[in-house]
Amino acid sequence: MKKASLLILFLVQVLLVHAQKLTVSALTTDYNNNPVGTGNVKPAFAWKLSSSERNTLQTAYELQVAATMPDISSGKNLSWNTGRVNSGQSVHVLYNGPELKSRQRYYWRVRVWDNHGNASPWSGIKYWETGLLNPSDWSAKWIEAAEITNGAVSPAPVFFRSFNVSAPVKSARLYITAHGLYEAKLNGKNISNHLLAPGWTSYHKRLQYQTYDVTSFLKSGGNVAAVTLGDGWYRGFLEWQRKRNWYGKEAGLLYQLEITFADGKKQVIVSDEGWKSSFDGPIKTSDIYMGETFDSRLDKPVTAAVAKNWKGVRVVHTSLDNLVAQQGPPVVRHEQFKALKVIKTPKGETVIDFGQNLVGWVQVKIKGRAGDTLKIKHAEVLDKEGNFYTGNLRTAQQEDSYILDGTDQFLEPHFTFHGFRFIKITGLHGEPDKDNFTAVAIYSDMQPTGTFTSSNSLVNQLQHNIQWGQKGNFVDIPTDCPQRDERLGWTGDAQVFFNTAAYNMNVASFFTKWLQDVKADQYANGRVPVVIPATQKRGNDGSAGWADVSTIIPWNFYTVYGDKQLLEHQYSSMKAWVEYVRSISKNNLWNSGGHYGDWLFYTMADDRDGKAAITDKYLIAQTFYAASTQNLINAASVLGKNDDVATYTALLKNIKDAFNREYVTPSGRLVSGSQTAYVLALNFDMLPENLRQQAAQRLVDNIKTYKNHITTGFLGTPYICHVLTRFGYTDVAYKLLLQETYPSWLYPVKMGATTIWERWDGIKTDGTFEAESMNSFNHYSYGAIGDWMYKVITGINAAEPGYKTIRIAPQLGGNFTTAAAGLETMYGKVASAWKTEGSKITLDITVPANTTAKIVLPGAASAAVTESSVAISKVKSVKDVIKSGNDLALTAGSGTYHFEYTLSGK
């Protein structure tokens, strides 16, 4: 071979190796992988870089969009091509091509360049597909069963229609929604694994429809469409007043099946007068709180022959303007739990224990006698004596009944869910075989993003409980609890838990959807309901710490995901809320309105000593007024609304001045001496600088008077350990975290909890219950400590919104010898793990590509630190190493690092 060609070959090889150092993957559109049926006309793209080199930053990208696979693969006939854009932006790159069309699939790919001179190959090809973007795209009509129920409890109506497919099908999409919940079948098969669709939104203003690719369900010749509707949130029981039909009295269906044939022709099957309906299906009743009654003898495939004598349908002329594409993740089945054991209770009940308090239902394999009824009732706990306990469910029955047909059966409910660890079985002949019962957890399909483990097994169980609190209460909307007659979108609970939730799982789409309902249900004067979707007006709408969800979650969301589009969308709602409080305040004091205050703070039955940790409700309100105003200022400055920044900065000063006049003595004592009062005043910077440290000392003193126990309720709990850390008392925060007696986070863990309890002492040490009527064992609010565990123990923080710059500053303590956390951010995985052996410490850190980390090595003296056996001063991707107090601070580019040193002073 000639020298020249050898050289070329060599160069090509060098280029290839060089090019593959950098790759791009994990492409998402509006946080989703290949979403179908989107409604956003300006979708946001994101991708992750991987590189074998440390310290990698994107310097440029090129993104291409085309309408077909061959076009995108060849880079021809592109509908949008950014060309090479010199930019480090790899998240929230907004689509800026020609106007998007309805029902169109768009393919896209991206490639990037980095600061080392590498170019990535093109990414794999991804797509997104729009749904029906305009109301006029719908030709379907709303239909209801011929027989009117007038809101009475009734069997689940089944709708039927047959149609012919007479040419080869290229693709088919079903656009569908319901008043109630739907289960849709084509030719006898469920068209998806989604549960409880269309989900819960503020139905009259926003009703989600879903889009399904149903191509594979069709066959040539006769086809059968059947849809069953459950009562769901639309017309079932909601709240504790035994009230139904909050949104409407009749179940309804909107159905549009669009078939595209190989020759390009189309056929559309829509819900209209041509359908049939029947109440003779197997689901005799279905209700979220109450459970389901299923008569398997009536469970027959729906065929034209079966539906021959069915009644017709009523077409209802309703506006379609409230339809919106599905935004949040669908609810689907997740973990399964085998039955642990069968228990005979003292009362003689037959009970099965699944070992985990979860939300979902039980699948049963059974062969019983035809006509027998198997009943399964669900409970979270057994009582002191070991009997099945449902007192805390209030009016919610949580009972599924199956009338058996005598064959081998597999049974599970359709339109309900239960919060339970235990089930009670009746109606069986003989003892149950535990292997025939499986508990299935159902929840919104969010990607797990965070892990936290440590050398302390009780804290690990706490983390487990927090995660299960999240799973069970993220069933389409963020709920307070999943078992009793509430399961509502209590706004206070959601804002309290948001940060922790966003560590554990990717909650971006979930909250994007719910925040739209916050905005939709906000009163015209800016007041925000305490429950979203808002079922009714309440006296306490606008309660401090609840209604402030309208500024707290959008701002925290921005911190975690860096999503400006979300902030822009919520901005008017944030501002309206602050303006509402301003309109009702007097002399800048928010001292009116009904408030929940520091809900469920520490109290005792016999309180002669005055230990109850009561905090003045208006003092609390004033701190949240400041917090919301601060969030609004933050959002305004990100969005470049300079006038608003000026206006609200002036307002914020007045709010804080008013707070100091009204609630603080000249020497810095607050009118309420509780932990929550000091925590909120410090967390939201209410006090002048010169009074802060002494206030922190008062907080610590207060904690000491309770012998290192926490006394905060919902509003103080998320911030207490953060405030302690900020003012130099991380040791006290560790003491609170590791406290094992009531009130504390670990007390329920010691009592065998597998989820977070609503009350610090839901079950007392003697096994009795704290309360009958309001005592949930799956309420995530107190799980808000998770945020501190990730942020302080393992030290993972977003220094810039969306983790473009990361601060990793673990703080050792509490006799932990190891702690490790991982977090999948928009840029990739951040990890921080530390281990102490005597005075020796090792720290393993991962910084994703296209980010930079500020790392603080606790108790390190620069000379002694090595990184993978190299003196830290010689490590190229580490810069700006400086001593900072007892620690060492440095800046590190992307990569994985292994630091080792001896703790200084030891």
Please choose, out of 70-78, 292-300, 490-498, 809-817, the segment that lies near ligand BGC by the rule CB under 6 A.
490-498
Please choose, out of 262-270, 416-424, 478-486, 869-877, the segment that lies near ligand BGC by the rule CB under 6 A.
478-486
57 vs 774 by CB, closer to ligand BGC = 774
Is residue 480 a contact point for ligand BGC (CB under 6 A)? yes
295 vs 486 by CB, closer to ligand BGC = 486
Token pair of 581 as six digits: 């409080």
Is residue 287 a contact point for ligand BGC (CB under 6 A)? no
Please choose, out of 350-358, 411-419, 487-495, 722-730, the segment that lies near ligand BGC by the rule CB under 6 A.
487-495
Residue 568 Cα to chain centre, angstroms = 20
239 vs 272 by CB, closer to ligand BGC = 239
Under 8 Å between Cβ of 276 and 312: yes
**DSSP-derived secondary structure for 457-478:** HHHHHHHHHHHHHHHHHEESEE
Q: Given 183, 250, 486, 900, which residue is catalytic?
A: 486
Q: How many residues bind ligand BGC (CB under 6 A)?
A: 10
User: What type of residue is 755?
Assistant: T
Under 8 Å between Cβ of 485 and 393: yes
**DSSP-derived secondary structure for 835-846:** EEETTEEEEEEE
Is residue 493 a contact point for ligand BGC (CB under 6 A)? yes
Please tell me the distance from the alpha carbon of residue 195 to that of residue 576, in angstroms, as a whole number. 35
Token pair of 857 as six digits: 């090595």
3 vs 537 by CB, closer to ligand BGC = 537
828 conformational bin, left if phi > 0, alpha if psi -120 to 50, beta if neither: left
Please tell me the distance from the alpha carbon of residue 34 to that of residue 391, in angstroms, as a whole number. 45
Inter-axis angle of helices 457-473 and 730-738, nearest 10: 80
Please tell me the distance from the alpha carbon of residue 208 to that of residue 828, in angstroms, as a whole number. 31
Residues 690-704 as b/e (b if ≥16 CB within 10 A, e otherwise) read ebbeebbebbbebbe
Token pair of 269 as six digits: 């099957």
Instruction: Please report how close the Cβ of residue 557 comes to ligand BGC at its closest, in angstroms.
Output: 20
Instruction: Please report how close the Cβ of residue 486 comes to ligand BGC at its closest, in angstroms.
Output: 5
Instruction: Please report how close the Cβ of residue 542 comes to ligand BGC at its closest, in angstroms.
Output: 13
Count H helices, E strands: the chain? 16, 46
Instruction: Please report how close the Cβ of residue 596 comes to ligand BGC at its closest, in angstroms.
Output: 4
Please calculate the CA angle 635-636-641 and round it to the nearest 5 degrees: 155
399 is catalytic: no
Is residue 383 a contact point for ligand BGC (CB under 6 A)? no
Shortest Cβ contact with ligand BGC: which residue? 480
287 vs 480 by CB, closer to ligand BGC = 480
**DSSP-derived secondary structure for 532-561:** SS--S--TTTT-TTTTTHHHHHHHHHHHHH
Whole-angstrom Cα Rg for the chain: 29
Please tell me the distance from the alpha carbon of residue 51 to that of residue 777, in angstroms, as a whole number. 45
427 vs 594 by CB, closer to ligand BGC = 594
Is residue 490 a contact point for ligand BGC (CB under 6 A)? yes
99 is catalytic: no
Is residue 601 a contact point for ligand BGC (CB under 6 A)? no
Under 8 Å between Cβ of 475 and 232: no
User: What type of residue is 528?
Assistant: V
Is residue 489 a contact point for ligand BGC (CB under 6 A)? no
290 vs 715 by CB, closer to ligand BGC = 715
Is residue 492 a contact point for ligand BGC (CB under 6 A)? yes
Instruction: Please report how close the Cβ of residue 599 comes to ligand BGC at its closest, in angstroms.
Output: 5
Q: Given 250, 258, 380, 758, which residue is catalytic?
A: 758
114 vs 493 by CB, closer to ligand BGC = 493
Q: Of the candidates 106, 389, 498, 599, which one interacts with ligand BGC according to CB under 6 A? A: 599
- Residues constituting the chain: 906
Is residue 486 a contact point for ligand BGC (CB under 6 A)? yes
Is residue 757 a contact point for ligand BGC (CB under 6 A)? no
Please choose, out of 307-315, 329-337, 451-459, 485-493, the segment that lies near ligand BGC by the rule CB under 6 A.
485-493
User: What type of residue is 752?
Assistant: G
256 vs 470 by CB, closer to ligand BGC = 470
Instruction: Please report how close the Cβ of residue 374 comes to ligand BGC at its closest, in angstroms.
Output: 31
DSSP structural state of residue 765: T
Please tell me the distance from the alpha carbon of residue 235 to that of residue 200, in angstroms, as a whole number. 12
Is residue 481 a contact point for ligand BGC (CB under 6 A)? yes
- Interface positions with ligand BGC (CB under 6 A): 480-481, 486, 490, 492-493, 596, 599, 774, 779
Catalytic annotation, residues = 486, 758
